Structure 1
């Protein structure tokens, strides 16, 4: 978390006005109703705690714009955005910046619905500054997860983080990802759960991670069985929908009771933004595009080049 003795909301307003809106410090002071020296202290503190970060790009690296176009055409998706370098080393800061830009571009309005999945990357970016104002927009989770010990798989927490950064309206799932048969039947008639499924059906945006190949997964939600033969061919997953190299979804024990949107609902979402920064996920990205589970990919240079190699092409 971003720990500071200063008001975090004031820090965020000052940093956003100065670095994103390009206001001079005197103009920031006037907007916030504080003195010019106070603005300087706020900006220094925002940098100190990591609310504001800077990157120095390597000019000898690949042409990112050209790489984005190349990858978009190969994957057959609407958009590809690429952050510089290896984003795992940068705690996904560049992925978070790209997500903020994409959400700002979509210009979501009051009453629109944004769905958020669980996962290490989505959990990381949900805590970052620089997200747009989404007042009136509803943010809801795609999967249950109350029983998970790993915060990355507690989707309600990820939703709450993003709501804190955007001012959106949260909705939560008060159920495990894999309920018992009796609880599953009860959920179908529960008003709060029905509200969530209704939100899934009318969502405009999905923000999800892409899981790595099943055989090499270091982190895995507790409801997915380890070493199950039905998942041996899984090269990735999105919202707990595992798929093989051809994009075919795979069933496994308990899959019929998982709290998650169906594949058909996911494919119907107009803007499905997938986040992935890991070279091991190159086959997961290619197969996820074949499965038509995302329309926009946010990744980094290292991963993008690994995806090109999956297609037998050189960066």
Structure 2
């Protein structure tokens, strides 16, 4: 090694020691050595390229993160958070997804945000697991009405209130059911000034936190008593495989027009599309087809799910072409 190269090597090592071992920032190193900060940055990059510095990350989440990368590539979404879970108990799974979602939501929210909140047990769990963090001027607003008298602790209104209480923020309430008996009643309620005001505000959300519903006899809308077995059979016959807010999706993720849609009080999928950041939280084998449809339609920017569901979604997507 020539003397010039040896001196350069010595300087690279010195800069690396100051930066990585003594925790000096690039500006401090530049002042100490009498060189420019950009030159320090270039020297640090050169040190990595020449093998002086080898960075090793102790990553216990590598398997899930490989799945996340595959999801982002496969479905062209902004991000995915996939948790490794052996839980088959739905309550424990909801809690785990809720914890992961709570950390994500904290990183996403900004001062002054309007946040649209959907119904769902995982969303209720996210609100429960959330720790207080300071943001100014947050407003939480439900995206749909209530699902009857059962399970009120995870209705959209309850979830919005839970988030607002945790973050000491303002909450709006949508005084309407999610599904009504007739299209005429739906049209009348949507024209009510108090209901229209909340729905208009929901459309102005910068962030939406949503769940994805399956279309089956076990779906929440059926078990709540608001949607009959004949209703669900009718939308299934028209190709619906998922429900998203006040809309239904086919296997390709397209929003489909069904008369039953007019009985819903809430934002439609098309209105949801306008919201800049949509976070979907869903897991479980019964939701695989529904989540796949929502991903194919690009209805969300970020998905939070568990590894077992993620693998099942990828398998289903590969082996079942959209109709």
TM-score by length of 1: 0.71
Q: Distance in 2 between matches of 1:236 and 1:185?
A: 23
Which residue matches 1:199?
Answer: 201
Q: Give CA-to-partner distance per residue, 1:198-254, whole Å, 9 cap, x none.
A: 212211111111112425547734333324223243322221422121112334444
- Out of 202-211 and 227-236, give the one that drifted further: 227-236
Which residue matches 2:236?
Answer: 231
Q: Distance in 2 between matches of 1:123 and 1:71?
A: 25
Any residues of structure 2 matched to 1:141-156 within 5 Å, and which?
A: 141-145=142-146, 147-151=148-152, 154-156=155-157
Q: Give CA-to-partner distance per residue, 1:122-144, whole Å, 9 cap, x none.
A: 23333223364445211111111
Task: Indicate if the aligned counterparts of 2:212 and 2:280 stay in contact, CA closer than 8 A.
Answer: yes
Which residue matches 2:68?
Answer: 68
CA pair 81-280 structure 1, distance change in 2 beyond 3 A: same
Q: Give CA-to-partner distance per residue, 1:83-114, whole Å, 9 cap, x none.
A: 1214553242332222222222223212x211
Q: Distance in 2 between matches of 1:170 and 1:219?
A: 24
- Out of 113-122 and 231-240, give the one that drifted further: 231-240
- Residue 68 of structure 1 and its aligned partner are, at CA, apart by 0.6
Which residue matches 1:222?
Answer: 225
- Residue 285 of structure 1 and its aligned partner are, at CA, apart by 1.4
Q: Does 2:165 align with 1:159?
A: no
Task: Indicate if the aligned counterparts of 1:200 and 1:265 stay in contact, CA closer than 8 A.
Answer: no
Matched position secondary structure for 2:278: strand
Any residues of structure 2 matched to 1:16-55 within 5 Å, and which?
A: none
Matched position secondary structure for 1:195: helix
Can you give the 5+ residue segments of structure 1 that lack an aligned partner in the other structure?
A: 1-58
- Residue 295 of structure 1 and its aligned partner are, at CA, apart by 1.1
Q: Distance in 2 between matches of 1:172 and 1:151?
A: 13
Q: Distance in 2 between matches of 1:286 and 1:199?
A: 29
Backbone CA RMSD of aligned residues: 2.7
CA pair 114-107 structure 1, distance change in 2 beyond 3 A: closer
Task: Indicate if the aligned counterparts of 1:143 and 1:260 stay in contact, CA closer than 8 A.
Answer: yes
CA pair 219-131 structure 1, distance change in 2 beyond 3 A: farther
Which residue matches 1:107?
Answer: 109
Task: Indicate if the aligned counterparts of 1:115 and 1:207 stay in contact, CA closer than 8 A.
Answer: yes
Q: Does 2:248 align with 1:242?
A: yes
Q: Distance in 1 between matches of 2:221 and 2:148?
A: 15
Can you give the 5+ residue segments of structure 2 that lack an aligned partner in the other structure?
A: 1-59
Structure with greater helix share of residues: 2
Task: Indicate if the aligned counterparts of 1:230 and 1:252 stay in contact, CA closer than 8 A.
Answer: yes
Which residue matches 1:77?
Answer: 77
Q: Does 2:112 align with 1:127?
A: no
Task: Indicate if the aligned counterparts of 1:176 and 1:259 stay in contact, CA closer than 8 A.
Answer: yes
Which residue matches 1:300?
Answer: 306
Q: Give CA-to-partner distance per residue, 1:29-65, whole Å, 9 cap, x none.
A: xxxxxxxxxxxxxxxxxxxxxxxxxxxxxx6x87111
Q: Give CA-to-partner distance per residue, 1:229-287, whole Å, 9 cap, x none.
A: 23243322221422121112334444213111122211111111111111232221111
Q: Distance in 2 between matches of 1:117 and 1:87?
A: 24
